[in-house]
Structure 1
């Protein structure tokens, strides 16, 4: 039996005196020869039970907490190579692979066993040999052989434009070809030569109603000025006059 199971009752029976209550528990009345010692118990001033508040006077010691820096090293996880590489992965690799033909996996979800593909080659330069009339096409370079006779032609050069006018009376549109070979413009095809009149000066307009006309091949070249936008060339063939226009940059 615990002494605290009936503590309140014993304390009340002992008039609130802890000494008497403890003596009554360990030495019950009738067995304890000293059960009358409570008559000699000195009187306690004040109530039997008092709450005593202890106050610590003096300077309090202030505890200084020192900040302790804890450095936690986290090891980076390196994925294992699962691509069946022959060289294997190197644990100390920081950017390249070792082992000759091996691979290295650093924070990747897959294994790069082969080197990255080379960058694509730059686009090829625009072709220098093109046909701009009667259709646009890339052609092979050929030797230019000018003819002794050619229809009346006149070129005009301005700051922003280069033009060529070709007078072709009685010539079908599909009989004339205009090519650009590098910086040279070539007009060739089949024109109409007046056999009885022969050549005439370019500055004189020729008009003949005779029927003695011979289809004759011709070829004439012109040196293009600088900064010509060849791929923006425009050709028109209206009212027996062929006009070539090329913008200049």
Structure 2
């Protein structure tokens, strides 16, 4: 003899089924809504192609890190972001081989625009947009006309030693910044102005700290005497997070 479900049991079963359906529909709506929100905020979407014109987001750092060993993908980001650059032929061999020689064509580097690795080029572009330009406008009510450098490529070991680890400069994966020139000709020198107080010191400290958001390694006069006259900026995977 088959027992029939009571009316209460039947209603409970129907309620459980409705609850599962409601939960499923809620998940679907959250997924659809989430994808729509990510489409409007690609800086937070780990699957969206990186565009340097987007503001920094949750996914930006991971996307930047993924470019370190992928030259074509890195240069595609520059193209997508409409950053003018020239891809130069590889040079060198051994520890000083430079398969990635990427030159920024519109960056205000002086006395010239040396080729670096593509990740350094991207970091320079972000530094200019997010740190250098806002700091110069806020502190000096001016834009930066020149970013003075001491070079990017140098086939040598750290500190010019005869043995030990190779410098990031050996592959052009670093650049040394010595100072800045404003549009009115005012020059801000790392060597002269780092500890002199006033607006120039404030500017140098601010742009040094801001560089740490774009570069893997940032070394300044606070690090040691060898960096008394410049900021060393590189995209090394070995020293990720060093900011002094």
Above 0.5 in TM-score? Answer: no
Q: In which range does the TM-score fall when normalised by the shorter chain?
A: under 0.3
Q: Which has the larger radius of gyration?
A: 1
| Greater helix fraction, Structure 1 or Structure 2 | 2
TM-score by length of 1: 0.19
Identify, as 1 or 2, the structure richer in strand: 1
Length-normalised TM-score, structure 2: 0.19
